[in-house]
Chains A and B, each alone.
Chain A
Amino acid sequence: SQKIEQNSEALNIQEGKTATLTCNYTNYSPAYLQWYRQDPGRGPVFLLLIRENEKEKRKERLKVTFDTTLKQSLFHITASQPADSATYLCALEWGGGGNKLTFGTGTQLKVEL
């Protein structure tokens, strides 16, 4: 079965710096990969989707890369702000139809002043 690995340790960075989060996966070749943000006590919120034939996608201060050879996605937040502090989840298309997703456990990001 597929396995998704995200760094379980919190990432602490200084305001204004670029945060980079990593998502590695094994045993599968997903057609697309998604990133979500989750705040405490809330449901995850969709941020970006990147397809297997896309190397990079951007949305405002967010950038996602997808390397299907390395089986890795990197999620970047540039000019980070304290409001970016949250847990970020990586999700892969499960396969077999139904738009099913399998999620990583997430990485907590803390942006400090």
Chain B
Amino acid sequence: DAGITQSPRHKVTETGTPVTLRCHQTENHRYMYWYRQDPGHGLRLIHYSYGVKDTDKGEVSDGYSVSRSKTEDFLLTLESATSSQTSVYFCAISVGQGEHMGGYTFGSGTRLTVV
């Protein structure tokens, strides 16, 4: 596998609490992404990163922030969790660029429940 791990795998948290999800890669890829997956909506991009300290918003970024202080780590933070953020969160890396473009490699996901 491409060496991408997410932690934690499962989390239950209370409404209003901050939550941080971690994505770690071992292969020095430039691009990293956070998606959420919900029934009927599929995978939706939250934020992405194109390098250390370089991040940008995706389709559903409200209520989320990200940080990338090292190439290998991409953190997703829910500043004040809400029930609508109950979801499965996937981190992904993009393999290759341009003519050598491959697909994404996804982590195993974090199932987050906000009660």
Contact = CB atoms under 8 A, between A and B. Distances in A.
A43 B107 contact: yes
Nearest to B91: A43
A22 to B, nearest CB: 15
B48 interface: yes
Contacts of A45: 106
Interface stretch (A11-19, A66-74, A76-84, A97-105): A97-105
Contact of A43 (B31, B41, B109): B109
Nearest to A34: B103
A105 B38 CA distance: 9
Contacts of B107: 43
A101 B109 contact: no
A98 B50 contact: yes
Contact of A99 (B42, B58, B97, B105): B97
Interface string A82-113: 00000001010010011111111110000000
Interface in B38-61: 40-45, 48, 50, 56, 58-59
B40 A105 contact: yes
Contacts of B97: 99
Contacts of B41: 105
A97 B102 CA distance: 15
Nearest to B45: A100
Interface of B: 31, 33, 35, 40-45, 48, 50, 56, 58-59, 90, 92, 94-95, 97, 101-109
7 contacts: A36-B104, A42-B109, A43-B108, A94-B45, A98-B56, A100-B33, A102-B59
